[in-house]
């Protein structure tokens, strides 16, 4: 695996982890799937291994990502998702041949169609987004408190008070910024 690309941030929710592959959207954006191969790698991490990814499929994946981002952001602030975003999500959902399978251990996995195509994988991500946007799942869409991020994430904490899309990056950055500000404050007070 190449190290020249930004790391993946692996969240528990498929759809918002997918939108999180473009982070720092309101600052200096970090593209975590800059190539078709990186998308293939990312899908494999989420149990959606595909055989290959063409440029058209790669562009479609990014289109779906932005559609989910737009719809989730709208939902998080209580407005209606854009019709164009809903269209892309629905089209991607309909275009795949994935099926839910139950393992003997009682887990749900996804079996992609016979060709294991990107379309199949995207249909799983789209269906995941739909279940969140439709309010079917236990949790709440919210926006990351980091000003340079503001990513939509799915808050499944019991109190629904999670502030950051990702503790390891946005959460830590915020904590560090507060720490530095506090130290500066103290230094000034000691002058």
Residue 7 has what DSSP assignment? Answer: P
In the bound complex, what is the minimum distance in angstroms from residue 139's beta carbon to Zn ion?
A: 16
**CA-based diameter of the chain, in Å?**
71
Q: Which is nearer to Zn ion, 51 or 172 (CB)?
A: 172
Name the β-bridge partners of 116. none
Q: Out of 144, 155, 162, 174, name the contact with Zn ion by CB under 5 A.
A: 144
CB-based contacts of 146: which residues, under 8 Å, 6+ apart? Answer: 164, 165, 170, 173, 174
Separation of alpha carbons 12 and 17, rounded Å = 7
In the bound complex, what is the minimum distance in angstroms from residue 7's beta carbon to Zn ion?
A: 15
Element (H, E) at 186: helix 172-189
Separation of alpha carbons 154 and 15, rounded Å = 9
CB-based contacts of 160: which residues, under 8 Å, 6+ apart? Answer: 139, 140, 142
Q: Does 170 bind Zn ion (CB under 5 A)?
A: yes
In the bound complex, what is the minimum distance in angstroms from residue 145's beta carbon to Zn ion?
A: 8
Q: Which is nearer to Zn ion, 33 or 151 (CB)?
A: 151
Q: Does 133 bind Zn ion (CB under 5 A)?
A: no
Give the binding range for Zn ion (CB under 5 A) out of 7-15, 83-91, 168-176, 178-186: 168-176
Task: For residue 138, give the 3-state DSSP assignment.
Answer: coil
**Stretch 145-164: interaction string toward Zn ion, x if CB under 5 A:** -x--x-x-------------
Q: Which is nearer to Zn ion, 125 or 170 (CB)?
A: 170
Q: Does 126 bind Zn ion (CB under 5 A)?
A: no
Q: Which is nearer to Zn ion, 60 or 162 (CB)?
A: 162
Binding site for Zn ion (CB under 5 A): 144, 146, 149, 151, 165, 170
């Amino acid at each position: 695996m190449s190290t020249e690309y930004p790391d993946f941030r692996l969240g528990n929710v498929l759809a918002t982890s997918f939108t999180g592959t473009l982070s720092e959207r309101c600052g200096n954006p970090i593209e975590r799937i800059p190539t078709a191969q990186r998308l293939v790698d990312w899908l494999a991490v989420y149990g959606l291994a595909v055989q290959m990814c063409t440029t058209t499929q790669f562009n479609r994946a990014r289109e779906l990502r932005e559609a989910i981002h737009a719809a989730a952001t709208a939902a998080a602030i209580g407005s209606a998702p854009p019709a164009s975003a809903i269209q892309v999500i629905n089209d991607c959902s309909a275009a795949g041949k994935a099926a839910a399978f139950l393992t003997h251990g009682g887990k749900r996995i996804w079996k992609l169609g016979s060709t294991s195509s990107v379309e199949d994988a995207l249909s799983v991500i789209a269906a995941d987004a739909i279940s969140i946007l439709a309010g079917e799942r236990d949790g709440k869409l919210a926006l990351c408190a980091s000003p340079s991020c503001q990513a939509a994430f799915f808050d499944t904490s019991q109190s629904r008070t999670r502030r950051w899309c990702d503790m390891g990056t946005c959460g830590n950055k915020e904590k560090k910024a507060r720490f530095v500000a506090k130290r500066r404050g103290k230094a000034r007070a000691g002058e």
